[in-house]
Structure 1
Amino acid sequence: MREKVSIYIPTKNRISLLKRAIESVHRQTYKNIELIVVDDGSNDGTRKYLLEAQKNNRLKAILQPESFGACVARNTAINNSTGHFITGLDDDDYFLSKDRITTFVEQWHLLTKGESKIAGLYDSAKINTPQGIIDSHTDETSSYKKLRQKNNIGNQVFAPKSHYIKSGNFDPSMPAWQDWDLWLRMSNMFGEFININHFSYMVDETHEFNRITQKSEDKIRIALMRIHSKMGNVSLREKSSLLAAALAYPQVQPRLSDLVILIITGRLYTAIKATKKIITPSI
């Protein structure tokens, strides 16, 4: 029998989107799947829906007594999972391909033959934006060195449960970039991440609910500070890359010190773009 794969979905008050996400899991051709949905204090009917779905053996529902945040929800699912492999799905996203999990399992066994050491797998994604659908996270691999400059993986990986646990799971103290932070720790401990280049995941940015892009500037700045601290000795180029990632959010206004670092490291386009945010701030 093929190894069991546990899929976690954290959710809160997005029942219509959650149903779409769950259906995309049930359409998978790989059948040895454990679906765990952790509700983070919903009051929109999600809990009733999950309990009914659990009765019909469609998923395992975990209902948190109150809202502790998505990080805690993900960790709760991981710690209660029974699969050999784990991957995730955000409740407002969905799997595009029916063979996403099958491909992950097959590629894992193909790539780990012999003495090959990898942290996990990921996949290029489609992002549905108000301006149209774009391709994202298309790099062939992601190493610890690359991850020290940007998250070129995205928000989901496929890896053995032990890789999540030994790396410390998601850090609830991170107000943003929790996935990036964990991928850094996993790659530092276990090696590279490999892209299966299947475009089997859709990130949906067209709905009315909040995503990280709408988090406050303070939260993005705190995440930037904490990821600096966790990385240890950060080079000027790495610092510039992390700043560029933070400034990519419309709500993050550049500081003079940010612009100096960008210019010194040759990121003139990023510096000019950031300066325009000061001249013509978003309303």
Structure 2
Amino acid sequence: MNKESISVIITTYERSEMFKPDNFLIKRAIQSVLDQTLKSEEIIIIVDGKSRYITSIVEEFNREDIIKIVQTQDKVGGNEARNIGIRAATGDIIALLDDDDEWLPEKLNKQILLYKSISEEQKIIFSPMYFGESKDNVSQISPYEVNENIANYVLERKGAIQTSTLLAPKKLFLDYPFTKNLVKHQDWDLIFRLAFSTTTKFYQTSDPLIYCHLDAVKGLSVSRKVHPVFSLNWINQYRNQISKEGYRDFVWANVVSCLFKSKVDSQTKNKIIKILGFHNVLMIVLFKIKQKILRTKTF
């Protein structure tokens, strides 16, 4: 293969009967890769578990020349499914895509142009994205600046970074694989580890290049499930490397807000208060109220 060969990894799984229509979303994802103005050498579909149903959907494309299907047999989770796909890839560059997202036609071309213009070997290219199918709803308030603290960039909600936008050397993903069995924060875990423990540089394209669709049933996804104690322990690893505002925003959204949710049991709520302390809980609530007032005045 040529030095700049690209492998696309799409992770998927068979939904339960209740969410069966979402299995067809992978057709949209695959088609968006086939429609790229810059073609990839291969598309690897990783099925987390096994599924004749998804296999038959993929086989409808009749593109065995470029599309490969790998079934993990046992359920391994989204992160390990990505690792399996990356290890199976033959390309030197990896581009990731979740089965319910969609690339714009210029996604690979624009990212590769940026990729080739950068001399550093340890680099990740990412892009802003559109939420849903409307181009009015963009994932960033301000562009990411090279050498900016990427954790603060996402935690302070200046912009987002999501798996389906990532493009990087295969070697980088092999040296620093996704964390297995992570119950939450899968995207951010990789990004934060690379940012704070390696010399990896992050580069953002100027244009949004994916649609992060909202039509899939997200209720059972890892990202939507609540794990407040896990989230608190996870973010505390980086407390000294992120801003106070970013930390408080994260703890509010993923931990303290759970105190006001009926579906969170009282034992978990008591554990949150015990770990954080009542004073810190109160300060975070007041911080969020003040932040909301200031944002309201701004608009």
Report the TM range for the smaller structure's normalisation.
0.7 to 0.9
Q: 1:243 to 1:99 in 2, by over 3 A?
A: same
- The Cα shift of 1:79 comes to 1.0
Give the equivalent residue in structure 1 for 2:126: 122
Q: 1:78 to 1:258 in 2, by over 3 A?
A: farther
Change over 3 Å in CA distance of 1:260–1:251 after alignment to 2: closer
Q: Is 2:216 aligned against 1:196?
A: no
Q: Describe the shift of the 1:74–1:117 C-alpha distance in structure 2 as closer, same or farther (beyond 3 A).
A: closer
Give how far 1:251 is off.
9.2
Q: How far off is 1:34 after superposition?
A: 1.7
Please report how far the alpha carbon of residue 246 of structure 1 lies from its aligned counterpart in structure 2 after TM superposition.
Answer: 1.8
Counterparts of 1:258 and 1:50 in 2: how far apart (Å)?
Answer: 51
Residues matched between the structures, number = 264
CA contact 2:152–2:242 (8 Å) conserved in 1: no
Map residues 1-283 of structure 1 onto 2, 5 A cutoff: 3-13=4-14, 14-43=22-51, 45-50=53-58, 53=61, 56-95=64-103, 97-112=104-119, 116=120, 119-128=123-132, 134-137=137-140, 138-141=142-145, 143=147, 145-147=149-151, 150=154, 152-155=160-163, 156-167=165-176, 169-188=177-196, 189-210=198-219, 211-215=221-225, 217-218=226-227, 220-229=228-237, 231=238, 233=240, 237=244, 239-246=247-254, 253=261, 257=276, 260-261=279-280, 264=283, 268-270=287-289
| Kept in 2: contact 1:181–1:227 (CA 8 A) | no
Query: Any conservation in 2 of the 1:144–1:187 contact (CA below 8 Å)?
Result: no
Report how far residue 21 of structure 1 moved.
Answer: 0.3
- 5+ residue gaps, structure 1: 274-283
Distance 1:260 1:10 in 2: 42
Q: After TM superposition, give the deviation of residue 227 of structure 1 in Å.
A: 4.0
TM norm structure 2: 0.74
Given that residues 45 and 67 in structure 2 are in contact (C-alpha distance below 8 angstroms), is that contact kept between their aligned partners in structure 1?
yes
State how far apart, in whole Å, the 1-side matches of 2:162 and 2:28 are.
20
Equivalent-residue separation in structure 2 for 1:17 and 1:249 (angstroms) = 32
- Give, as a single letter, the amino acid of the residue that structure 2 aligns with 1:175: V
CA distance in 2, matches of 1:72, 1:101: 24
Deviation at 1:104, TM superposition (A): 1.0
CA distance in 1, matches of 2:175, 2:102: 27
1:49 is aligned with what amino acid? I
Q: Is the 8 A contact 1:5 1:33 kept in 2?
A: yes
Conserved 8 A contact 2:252-2:288: no
Residue 120 of structure 1, CA deviation: 1.1
Q: Partner amino acid for 1:128?
A: G
The equivalent residue for 2:265 is none
Instruction: State, as a whole percentage, how many aligned pairs show the same letter.
Output: 20
1:196-254 Cα shifts (integer Å, max 9, x gaps): 02211011122334444531x22x5414413423x374678153243144259889758
Distance, in Å, in 2 between the alignment partners of 1:173 and 1:30 is: 34
Q: TM-score, normalised by structure 1?
A: 0.78
**What secondary structure sits across from 2:9 in the alignment?**
strand
